[in-house]
Amino acid sequence: MGPDQIRNVVLVGHGGSGKTALAEALAHLAGLTTRMGKVEDGNTITDFEPEEIDRQSSVALGLLPFEWAGLKINIIDTPGYADFLGEVLAALRAADLALFVVSAVDGVEVQTEAIWRLAEQEGIARAVFVNKLDRERSSHSRTLAQLKEVFGTGIAPIQVPIGAEQELKGVANLVGGEAYVYDGAPTATKTDVPEATQALVDELHTALVEAVVETDDELLEKYFEGEEPSGDQLIAGMHRGMVEGTAFPVLCGSATHMIGIDRLAQFLVEYGPRPSERPAPPLAAGDALPDDGTVAYVFKTMSDPYVGRISLFRVFRGAIAHDAELEVTPAGNRGRMHNVFLMRGKEHEEMDKVIAGDIAAVAKLESLVAGSTLRDPGSGIAIEPVAIPSPVMSLAVFPRSAQDEEKLSTALQRAAEDDPTLTVERRADTNQTVLAGLGDAHLEVTIARLARRFGVEVDTEVPKIPYRETIRGRADVEGKHKKQSGGRGQFGVAFVKFAPLGSPEGYEFVDEVKGGSIPRQYLPAVDKGIQEALNRGLIAGYPVVGVQATVYDGKYHSVDSDEMSFRMAGIQAVKAATAGLSPTLLEPIWKVRVRVPEHLMGDVIGDLNAKRGRVLGMEAEGSMRVVTAEVPLAEMQRYSIDLRSITSGRGSFEMEFDHYEEAPPQEVQRVIEASKEDD
C-alpha cells in the first residue's frame, strides 16, 4: 500500500452533532465491531478515557484507522466543545480532509463556524456530512440553506435524503442519479430514485454540473455545446475543487441507523484528497519540505499509566522504519523509534514501517512533545508547531496532602506537556500554583486526570489577584533599632526620605550619606531592610512599588552596630513612614480582544463597561466584530463563562497583561477588608 492509498480524515463540528457516533458507524461498517458502541453507554472505540465516559462526550482526539475498498482510512475523532479546541487544532495538522458533521436538527452551530475558519487557515480540504436526518424536526433543506448562507456558494450537495425523520430510508446520489436504500443493514441496496425525490435530484444535479464545469474551460465549452460531463469527470472536478478549497461536497444520512455510511466511506475513497495533495505545513526552519529524506510531525502526546508517554505523529516525507534513529526538534537530541504502532482507540498494533502520509504512534520517547519534528539527523527541517490559543481561565491548585507537593509539580508538568493549551505558573507574589486552560470544563477534566493518571488529589480556588501597592505621599523619618540584652547589643539608626518614584513600577535606593554617619558596609543592609518591609506591603500585604528611598544620615556604634542592626533600621523606617505615605493599591489591567457577531456587540460592550472596562476600539473581522478593551484582571476571572452566556457560545476572547494602574477607592477598601479576613 502506497501513499495514494491513504486517506486522513478528521471529524469536526459542534458538540452533539454525532462525530463519535459517525466514527463508530464507520468502524462497524469496516467489520471492526460486531455491534455499534454508543456514546451514552460509554463503549465507543474513540471515547475510552474515564473522563469521556463520565461526560458522555469527547475530550480528546481519538484515532480510528480502518480499510475500505483497498484503501487505509485514518479517522481522527475530535471534541466539539470549545474548551478542547487544542485537540482540534492538533488533528487538523495531521489530516488531509476536515469532514464537518452537522446535525440536521440543530443546523450550523458555533463550533462548526469556528473550526471552519481554522481548517481554512490550515489549508486543508473540507466536506460536510449532514447527520441525524432520522430525528424529529430534522430538515435537510433547512440545513443545506444554512450551510450555503454561512459558508458560501462553494457548498455543493452530492446527495439528498430519501424520506425524512423516522421515514428516512436512504440517500440519492446526484452524480450517478441512483438511489441507495437501507433496510437495517450497514450496506445499501442500489435502486432507482423514487419519484417523490426525482425532481429534487434533477434540480440539484443541474446545479452541481454547472458548479463543476465552471472550474474547467474544456468542460464548460462542451457543456454549452450540449454535452454533460460524465460521472468520472464530475468526481474529478469535485475532487479538484476540494483540494483547491473552492468546493465543499455535502453528504447526508444517519450515523446511528447506518444510513449513508457506506456511501460516505466510498466518497472518501473516490473524492478524498490524497496525502500528497495536502498543502505542506509551515516550516519553522528550512526552505521547503524535501522530496526525499524523512520528516514527521508529532501532533499529540499522552501519558499512559502502563506504556508511558505515547506520541502520535504524521509522516509528511519519507518513511519511518521500526528502530530508525531520528533527530528530534526542538529538543535537539536523537531518538530511536522502538515501539512504533498503529493506534485504534486504546488498542495498539505493532508496525514495521510507517510510510509518507500515514499516521502512527511511538512509545517511550520522552523528548517528544506536541509540535516536535522528527527528521533525518542534520537535515535542518523543522515544522512550525500549531498556534495554540491563549488560556482564558485559571485556577489555583494545591495538593490535598502536603506530602504530594513534589508529586503535584511533576504531574502538572506532564499534563502541560501532553496538552499545550494548558499553562502552569508558580506565582511567588501570591504563593500559588496556577493552572490555566481554555475553560471550566477543560480545567475540570485536567484535574480529574491528575488524580487518575498521577495519583494526585488537588483542591482548587480562584487565583489571588497580584495587586501591588504604591505611595502618593512623602515622609522623612528615623528608622531606629536598639537592643541591649546584657552582652553585645544591637544598634543602628538610618534617616530616610521616602517619595514617589514617578513611575508606577520599580524601586530606587539613593545613598546621600556624608561624613561616615553610616559606614559604607552597612548601607546595603539598610536597603535590604527597606525592600523587605516594602515587599510585605503597607495596607493589604502586597509588594510596594514606585518608591524612592533616600538615606541621608544615621548613627552607628563601633561595637554594637552590624548588618542585622541596620537591616532592622531599614524595616523600622518603613513602619515609621507608612502613615505619611498615603499608600494605595495598584491593580493589574489586561488588554482584552473579544470576537463576537455584530448583533451581540452591544451586549458585550455593556458587560465590559459593567466590569470597569474601557473600550479602546472596534473593528470588523469578516462577519464578526472585534472589541478591544482594557479591563481589571479582578473582573475577568470568570469571563469565559460570562461571555459564553451572553453570546450563547458564539463569542471568543484573548487577553494579555498590559499595565498596573491605581484602583478606585471602593476596590481598595474591598481588598483591604479581604486581606484582614485572610489574616
Q: Are residues 143 and 223 in the same domain?
A: yes
Residue 672: which region, alpha, beta or left (left: phi > 0; alpha: psi -120 to 50)? alpha
For residue 656, the cross-strand partners are 591
Co-location of 312 and 375 in the same domain: yes
pLDDT band at 486; cut points 50, 70, 90:
low
pLDDT tens by residue, 317-340? 999 999 999 999 998 889 999 889
Position 647 in a domain: yes
**Closest to 113 (Cα-Cα) out of 200, 17, 215:** 17
pLDDT, residue 47, reads 87
Last residue of a domain, one of 246, 262, 277: 277
Task: Verify that 132 and 220 share a domain, yes or no.
Answer: yes
User: Is 607 a domain residue?
Assistant: yes
Mean pLDDT of 258-269: 96
Query: Among 358-367, 396-405, 531-540, whose mean pLDDT is lowest?
Result: 396-405
Quick check: 623 pLDDT over 80?
no
- 597 and 561 part of one domain: no
- In whole angstroms, what is the distance from residue 58 CA to residue 20 CA? 8
Q: Let me know whether 265 and 317 are in one domain.
A: no
Structural domain includes residue 250: yes
Mean pLDDT of 566-588: 96
Domain hosting residue 102, numbered range? 3-277
Predicted pLDDT at 49: 85
* Closest among 63, 98, 72 to 5, alpha carbons compared: 72
Instruction: Give the model's pLDDT for residue 429.
Output: 79
Residue type, 439: G
Residue 388 lies in a domain: no
Beta bridge partners of 361: 312, 341
Predicted confidence band at 649 (pLDDT cuts at 50, 70, 90)? confident
| pLDDT over 90, % of the chain | 74
For range 177-187, the mean pLDDT: 90
What per-residue confidence (pLDDT) applies to 502? 80
194, 84: one domain: yes
| Whole-number average pLDDT of the chain | 92
Q: Is residue 270 part of a domain?
A: yes
pLDDT reported for residue 157: 95
pLDDT at 228: 85
The rounded Cα 528 to chain-centroid distance in angstroms is: 43
**Any domain includes 78:** yes
Q: Kindly give, in sequence order, each residue whose CB lies less than 8 Å from that of residue 587, ignoring residues fewer than 6 positions away.
A: 465, 467, 632, 633, 634, 660, 661, 662, 663, 667
pLDDT band at 291 (very low <50, low <70, confident <90, very high): confident
Tell me the DSSP string of 141-155.
HHHHHHHHHHH-TTE
Number of domains in the chain: 5
Q: Which residues contact 334 (CB under 8 A, 6 or more apart)?
A: 325, 326, 327, 328, 377
**Tens digits of residue pLDDT in 122-164:** 999 999 999 999 999 999 999 999 999 999 989 999 999 999 9
Picking from 383, 408, 437, the residue at the C-terminal end of a domain is 383
- pLDDT category at 629 given cuts 50, 70, 90 is very high
Residue 605, domain member (yes or no): yes
Strand residue runs (E) in 265-307: 283-285, 295-304
| Judgement on whether residues 49 and 135 belong to the same structural domain of the protein | yes
Cell of 257: 441507523
Under a CB-based contact definition with an 8 Å cutoff, are residues 646 and 600 in contact?
Answer: yes
591 shares a domain with 577: no
79, 136: one domain:
yes
CATH number for the domain including 518? 3.30.230.10
- 562 plus 610 within the same structural domain: no
Let me know whether 253 and 322 are in one domain: no
Q: What pLDDT band is residue 210 in, cutting at 50, 70 and 90?
A: confident
Specify the pLDDT at position 634: 94
The predicted structure's pLDDT at residue 679: 59
User: What span, in angstroms and rounded, lies between the C-alpha atoms of 580 and 416?
Assistant: 47
359: domain CATH number is: 2.40.30.10
Q: Which of 356-370, 397-411, 656-670 has the lowest mean pLDDT?
A: 397-411
Looking up residue 453, the CATH number of its domain turns out to be 3.30.70.870
Q: Kindly state whether residue 306 falls inside one of the protein's structural domains.
A: yes
The Cα 281–Cα 288 span in angstroms is 10
Same domain, 15 and 128: yes
Which residue among 432, 461, 490 closes a domain? 461
Under DSSP, is residue 273 helix (H, G, I), strand (E, B) or coil? coil
pLDDT over threshold 80, residue 273? yes
- What's the CATH number where 181 sits? 3.40.50.300
Do the Cβ atoms of 266 and 56 come closer than 8 Å? Answer: no
- Asked whether the predicted pLDDT for residue 103 surpasses 80, the reply is yes
Distance CA 83, CA 98 (A): 19
